[in-house]
Structures are given as structure tokens and as C-alpha cells.
């Protein structure tokens, strides 16, 4: 029993000694971390205002602000560890070795990260643009550090790793797209009347943009027909509906104007030798 009491007294004395030795340092370390937390928020708010001035996308802006806050907090945590007397050299060396191993194991992820940063700062496209890249196309819904998400015209979602975008040929349509429609009429039809009829139909369609001006003109001359190209511009969201709507309106307008379509059959004359 006396031995147990002596052991408890020694343990209590050791705890008191450690508290006296490390207590103030621990309090200071906690204060440093608290200051780092509020400093990170202050730096993040200033960084967010700067990113807003360069019109960076909101999801990317939020992510970069969080990274800035974490970096500031990490700096103050290092200061707190130094105050506690922790030797940081072995820790840094260990993190370096671990980081090299992680980098080898995550080459694809790091490649996407580097490509994501390139996209963020070069801005070859923005949210809302209609793009075609890597054999797919769609409207940009989100730009993250690792992936870009496209909304496909068939209402599905396409997720593209950023490393598949950087360095590839990118077709950015922007906010509008050009329809590629056409009409074929008989060679002997009244061309001026047909062109005027098509122009009136296209100009009266509410989905067609007035600027840029729609392109309407003769595309090709065949033996018995004339092909007319009809290429108006519409908003990306109206692309599918506008195509069907304009085609139907042109059929009715041309039919009402009395313009004939070329026959699908050919007359074949057989001459005896």
C-alpha cells in the first residue's frame, strides 16, 4: 500500500511538472492556431474579392479560397508546433518521402489537377458555353480541379477528366449555335421567290437570333434541282426545338408559295441499237 501511494505521488508530481513546463507553451500554441484560423478567414475573404474581380467561376472561386485558408492555417500550425519544441526536420523529411510515393501512385490524379489549374487560369471555356472536345460535346455545367461536366443534348451528363481536355483540339461554340438546314427545289422554280419566302419564314421565327444575321443562299446546283442552304443562329438551349420548328415552317411556306420539290424518280429512256 505505501508503495502504491508513493507511485501515485510520483505520477502526480510528474504531471504537475509537465504542466508547469509545457502548459504555457500549450496555451500559446492554441492561441497561435486560433489566430491562424481568423487570419485564414481574413486572407480568404480578400482572395475571394480579388477572384471576383477577374470573373472566375463561382465553384472554382470557392475551392481556391478554401485552399488559401488551409495554407494560412497550416503555416500557423507549423508555428504552434515550433513553439511546443517539436522538431520539424524529421517530420518534413517523412512527409517528403510519403509525398513522393503518393505522387507516383496518383499520377493520373495529379495530371488532372495540373490540367484543371491550367483550365481555370487560361479559361478556354466558361460555364454555360457549348463545347466539343475529345469526341464529345455538350454545355459546360461545372468546372472542377479534376473534371469538367457537360450536359449532353440527350439530357445525359458527360464527365471528362481535365487531362483529356488540355492539349486537345477544343471547339467552343459559346452561348449560341448555328443550324445547318437546307431546302431542295426544282431547277426551273422561281429562285428569287423561294429565297424571299425562306427568308421571311426564318426572320419571323422567335427562336432565331437577329444578330448574327441568318445565312441563306444557293448551296449547290444539280441536273434537275437547286439546293438552298439555311443557316440561322439560335441559343444553345433552343438548338433542337428551333431545327424542327423552322423546317416545318419552311415546308408550309414553300408549299403555300407553289414551289415544287424535285421528284425522287428519274425518267429512263431506252433506245434500241
**Could you report the per-residue pLDDT of 187-244, keeping only the tens digit for each?**
877 888 888 888 998 988 899 998 889 999 888 888 788 888 999 999 988 888 888 9
Give the whole-angstrom CA distance, residue 96 versus residue 87: 15
* 176-256 CATH fold: Alpha-Beta Plaits (3.30.70)
pLDDT, tens digit, 9 for 90 and up, residues 155-181: 889 999 988 888 888 999 988 899 989
- What is the pLDDT, as a whole number, of residue 46? 86
pLDDT greater at residue 27 or residue 38: 38
- CATH class for the domain made up of 8-114: mainly alpha
Residues 103-131: what's their mean pLDDT?
77
Contact between residue 59 and residue 143 where contact means Cβ atoms under 8 Å apart: yes
Task: State the pTM of this model.
Answer: 0.61
Whether cis (ω within 30° of 0) applies to the bond prior to 167 is: no
Give the whole-angstrom CA distance, residue 182 versus residue 219: 9
Give the whole-angstrom CA distance, residue 156 versus residue 266: 44
- What is the pLDDT, as a whole number, of residue 32? 80
Residues 238-258: what's their mean pLDDT?
87
The ranges of the chain annotated as CATH 1.10.287.1260 are: 8-114
Residues 129-151: what's their mean pLDDT?
88
How does residue 2 score in pLDDT terms, banded at 50, 70 and 90? low
- What is the pLDDT, as a whole number, of residue 95? 62
The ranges of the chain annotated as CATH 3.30.70.100 are: 176-256
Least confident of 63-67, 107-111, 208-212: 107-111
The ranges of the chain annotated as CATH 2.30.30.60 are: 124-174
In order of 138, 217, 234, 243, the CA distances from 231 in angstroms are 20, 9, 10, 10
- What is the pLDDT, as a whole number, of residue 15? 59
- What is the pLDDT, as a whole number, of residue 131? 92
Least confident of 104-113, 116-125, 129-138: 104-113
- What is the pLDDT, as a whole number, of residue 273? 58
Q: What is the mean pLDDT of the chain?
A: 79
Least confident of 73-82, 97-106, 108-117: 97-106
pLDDT greater at residue 255 or residue 81: 255
Residue with cell 437547286: 226
pLDDT over 70 (residue 79): yes
pLDDT over 60 (residue 103): no
Residue with cell 428569287: 192
- What is the pLDDT, as a whole number, of residue 231? 92
* 124-174 CATH fold: SH3 type barrels. (2.30.30)
| SS3 sequence of the chain | CHHHHHHHHHHHHHHHHHHHHHHHHHHHHHHHHHHHHHHHHHHHHHHHHHHHHCCCCHHHHHHHHHHHHHHHHHHHHHHHHHHCCCCHHHHHHHHHHHHHHHHHHCHHHHHHHHHHHHHHHHCCCCCCCEEEECCEEEEEEEECCCEEEEECCCCCEEEEEHHHCCCCCCEEEECEEECCEEEEEECCCCHHHHHHHHHHHHHHCCCECCCCCCEEEEEEECCCEEEEEEECEEEHHHHHHHHHHHHHHHHHHHHHCCCCCCCCCCCCCCCCC
Amino acid at each position: 500500500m505505501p508503495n502504491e501511494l508513493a507511485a501515485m505521488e510520483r505520477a502526480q508530481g510528474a504531471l504537475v511538472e509537465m504542466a508547469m513546463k509545457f502548459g504555457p507553451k500549450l496555451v500559446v500554441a492554441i492561441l497561435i492556431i486560433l489566430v491562424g484560423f481568423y487570419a485564414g478567414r481574413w486572407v480568404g475573404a480578400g482572395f475571394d474579392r480579388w477572384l471576383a474581380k477577374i470573373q472566375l467561376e463561382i465553384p472554382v472561386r470557392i475551392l481556391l479560397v478554401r485552399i488559401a485558408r488551409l495554407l494560412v492555417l497550416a503555416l500557423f500550425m507549423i508555428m504552434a508546433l515550433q513553439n511546443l519544441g517539436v522538431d520539424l526536420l524529421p517530420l518534413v523529411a517523412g512527409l517528403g518521402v510519403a509525398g513522393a510515393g503518393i505522387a507516383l501512385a496518383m499520377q493520373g490524379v495529379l495530371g488532372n489537377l495540373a490540367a484543371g489549374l491550367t483550365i481555370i487560369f487560361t479559361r478556354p471555356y466558361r460555364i454555360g458555353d457549348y463545347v466539343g472536345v475529345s469526341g464529345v460535346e455538350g454545355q459546360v455545367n461545372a468546372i472542377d480541379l479534376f473534371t469538367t461536366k457537360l450536359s449532353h443534348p440527350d439530357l445525359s451528363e458527360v464527365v471528362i477528366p481535365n487531362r483529356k481536355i488540355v492539349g486537345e483540339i477544343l471547339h467552343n461554340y459559346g452561348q449560341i449555335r448555328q443550324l445547318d438546314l437546307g431546302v431542295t427545289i426544282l431547277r426551273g422554280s422561281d429562285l428569287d421567290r423561294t429565297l424571299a419566302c425562306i427568308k421571311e419564314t426564318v426572320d419571323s421565327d422567335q427562336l432565331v437570333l437577329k444578330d448574327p444575321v441568318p445565312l441563306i443562299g444557293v448551296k449547290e446546283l444539280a441536273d434537275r434541282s437547286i439546293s438552298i442552304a439555311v443557316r440561322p443562329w439560335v441559343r444553345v438551349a433552343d438548338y433542337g426545338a428551333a431545327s424542327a420548328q423552322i423546317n416545318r415552317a419552311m415546308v408550309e411556306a414553300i408549299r403555300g408559295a407553289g414551289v415544287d420539290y424535285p421528284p425522287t424518280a428519274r425518267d429512263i429512256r431506252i433506245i434500241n441499237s
